[in-house]
Amino acid sequence: MNHLSINYPTVSVEPESWFLEGKNITKSEKRIKDLGNVFANEAARQLINPDLLVYNVQAHLPVKEGTPGGLYFGTTIIQPGKVGNEYFMTRGHFHANADRAEYYWGVQGEGMLILMDEYRTTWAEKMFPGSLHYIGAKIAHRVANTGETPLIFGACWPSDAGHNYEEIELQGFSARLLEIEGKPFLK
C-alpha cells in the first residue's frame, strides 16, 4: 500500500443479497445430491430433485488456508425446505484445529444454530436478523433454516481453523432439528 493513499476496499458485501464481490472470493454450492447421509431420512432425500439447491457459501479468503493469525469472512444462504421433517441445514463441522472459535450472525430469515460440545451435549440458539453467536472452541456447529424464506447468515473464523467434517459424517450430531406440529424441536 502506498503511504497516505486513500483506497477502495478490494471486497464488498452487497447490502440486500449479502453477495460478496471482489478479490480472493470463493463460492460453493450444496445441492440435494451433494448431501448424502446428512439428513436422517435418506429415502426422503432421494425423492427430491437432486439438483435442488440447499445452500451456498461465499467466502473471502485473504490469506492462504492454515495461516496463523488471519481471518476469513463468509456469507451462507440456506434455502427454505425440509428432507422429511428435518429442516434444510449445513453439513456442520468441528474445526480441524480444535481450539479455534468462530462468530456467526443472523442477517435475514429465521433459523437455528445447532451446537454440540465434545461430550456430545447438543443445544441450539435461535437465529434472526441481528442475532449474534459466539461459537467457542471444540463446539461443532451447523445451521438450519426454520423459516419460509432464505436464511442468510454471516461468519468470521480464523484462517487456521480448518474444517473437520469426518467426525460429523461418522457420528453425526447427538440430536437433530425436526419440525413437529409446525415447530422446531431437538430430538
* Contacts to ligand M6P from residues 114-133, by CB under 6 A: none
Q: How far is the CB of 157 from ligand M6P (least distance, A)?
A: 6
CB of 104 to ligand M6P, least distance (A): 7
3-class DSSP assignment, residue 186:
strand
* Nearest residue to the partner Zn ion, using Cβ: 102
Q: Which grid coordinates are listed for 166?
A: 469426518
Q: Cβ 134 to Zn ion, closest distance in Å?
A: 12
Residue 164 exposed, middle or buried by CB count within 10 Å (0-12, 13-18, 19+): middle
State the Cα–Cα distance between residues 157 and 133, nearest whole angstrom: 12
The span from the CA of 14 to the CA of 88, in Å, is 24
From the list 100, 78, 63, 93, the residue with the least C-alpha distance to 29 is: 78
- Please tell me what DSSP assigns to residue 90: -
Size of site (CB under 5 A) for Zn ion: 1
Which residue, 73 or 82, has its beta carbon nearer to Zn ion? 73
State which of positions 95-114 bind Zn ion (CB under 5 A): 102
x/- string (CB under 6 A) for ligand M6P, residues 71-110?
Answer: ---x-x-------------xxxx--------x--------
Chain residues that interact with ligand M6P, rule: CB under 6 A: 57, 74, 76, 90-93, 102, 142, 155, 157, 163
